[in-house]
Amino acid sequence: MEDKRRHLLDAAVRVFARKGFHASRVGDIAEEAGVAHGLLYHYFDSKDKVLEAVFHENWSVLLARISSVEETDEPAADQLRHIATIVLRTWLHLPDVVRVVIREFGRSPELAERLGELTQPIDAIERVIARGIDRGEFRQDVDPRFAAAVVYGSIDELLTAWVLGRLPSEEVDVAVAEQTLLQVTLLGLQQP
């Protein structure tokens, strides 16, 4: 039962990534999954519910990984490095999921309003920066809220550029992007 649901979600990700959510039909997902049209409704009430399930299931894994970084006692710079790596490397491991999240959630105010989880990575980054400031690892004159928005905005822009094909996105490119992001960010956060 759970395998069939997972199979449908994986098919939906491929369809949404290829055609876009609004141009996709429930029948497209069923066809991609190789199942009868009505089976999808056994697991999901609507195409919107499929999209929400795709988001929630993938996002919860990402949030759990970010949370595990936060729980370490590593220096704040290392925690930021790990969080950036987790989020950016999602592109290498789940590019279709990233395409769907960026296109359908990141740019859609209606959906974003219903899904408060979108701000949770920014909140985690803010906590890491605030701890870095409290521990004397980062400058005292930096506002953690704005710094977190800048860091996450940079991550989001890199992912968006890869989705839109504006930047090269092979594994070596992702590594260069991670390094560049951290060098630029940490230059502004670290003590002079």
Share of the chain above pLDDT 70, in %: 94
Whether residue 103 is found in the same domain as residue 82: yes
H-helix or E-strand spanning residue 136: none
For residue 176, what are the domain limits? Answer: 55-189
pLDDT band at 111 (very low <50, low <70, confident <90, very high): low
Quick: pLDDT tens for 127-148: 999 999 999 999 999 999 999 9
Strand partners, 102: none
**94 within domain boundaries:** yes
Is 170 strand, coil or helix?
coil
Whether residue 37 is found in the same domain as residue 83: no
More confident residue, 149 or 113: 149
Q: What is the residue-averaged pLDDT of the chain? A: 91
One-letter identity of residue 38 = G
Decide if 139 contacts 192 (C-beta within 8 A).
yes
pLDDT band at 103 (very low <50, low <70, confident <90, very high): confident
Among residues 119, 92, 114, 88, the alpha carbon closest in space to that of 181 is found at 88
Tell me how far apart the alpha carbons of residues 38 and 30 are, in angstroms, rounded to a whole number.
8
Each as own residue / partner, the long-range contacts of residues 181-184 (CB below 8 Å, 24 or more positions apart, any chain) are 181/84, 181/88, 181/151, 181/154, 181/155, 182/77, 182/80, 182/81, 182/84, 184/154
Decide if 128 contacts 74 (C-beta within 8 A).
no
pLDDT, average across residues 67-81: 96
pTM of the model: 0.89
Residue 96, both tokens: 């279709």
Which of 14-23, 52-61, 71-80, 81-90 has the least mean pLDDT?
52-61
**29 within domain boundaries:** yes
How many domains is the chain built from?
2
Whether residue 32 is found in the same domain as residue 77: no
pLDDT of 173 reads: 97
Whether residue 20 is found in the same domain as residue 107: no
The CA dihedral of 73, 74, 77, 81, to the nearest 10 degrees, is -110
Which of 47-61, 138-152, 171-185 has the least mean pLDDT?
47-61
pLDDT of 143 reads: 97
Tell me how far apart the alpha carbons of residues 142 and 145 are, in angstroms, rounded to a whole number.
9
Decide if 91 contacts 145 (C-beta within 8 A).
no
Is 118 strand, coil or helix?
helix
Whether residue 77 is found in the same domain as residue 37: no
Whether residue 15 is found in the same domain as residue 71: no
